[in-house]
Structure 1
Amino acid sequence: EYKTVIQEQFLINILDRKQLTNIQFELALNQNMRRRQVIQTNILSDQIKTVKIVKEKVQRKVDHALLKIDENIQSFSKPIQISSRLTYNSLVKQHKFLIETNQELLIIDKNINNELLPNLRSLRHN
């Protein structure tokens, strides 16, 4: 909700006069509309700043959690060195790489099955 902002002096002038001309009324209305737009714009920009801050905090927490996981993995498997520190972005890259590798392995597996199955059947019959 946005409250309409009216200048205190303007209110005093309205209360002192019995009549208010159309021009004075429109002027007051326009001033209040402009003030309201400024208030709305300020509120929206504050909300955008808050969202950006929250996003950065969440990303830092994710990076911190992934770093802890990385440290735990390294402590349990001393001989295996993990080359890069886990971060949110590197985790996304690793995920894409694993999907691509998995698809390649499925293709290789399918090719092997297509080539070997006929040979195995012929061996079984002999």
Structure 2
Amino acid sequence: MAPQPRTGSAGPDLPGALTVTSHVHDGVLVLHLAGALDHNSGQALRRALDTADPQLCRIVCDLAELTFMDSTGINLFITIHQRVSPAGGWLRLAAAGETVLRPLEIVGLDQIIDLYPTLGDALTA
């Protein structure tokens, strides 16, 4: 039997697929990403942004539980940054582990988007 295609949200049959949960903290949209962010799962992050209040232009992505990220994630973060910046908003990335932080630094995204060691730091900066 062929493996099932990965979707944008994890289920019992798709361990490690990306899940995105969100809440609003003091007017900041906080997105918690868990699992792998890649070409097959990036749609989960796109859906979370599409369903969020469009007035929220301050966003923090909590990457503490993100286990893998390819160029899809980098491109999505750039897209989010470009979407919120003209409105005076910002995107902050928080708590990235080494496997996610290293690619962000290699491509220079840390020079464009602020990275914080913890979610709390990103929310209070």
Shared fold per TM-score greater than 0.5 = no
TM-score between the two structures when normalised by the length of structure 2 = 0.22
Find the structure with the greater CA-based Rg. Answer: 1
Compare the two structures and name the one with the higher strand fraction.
2
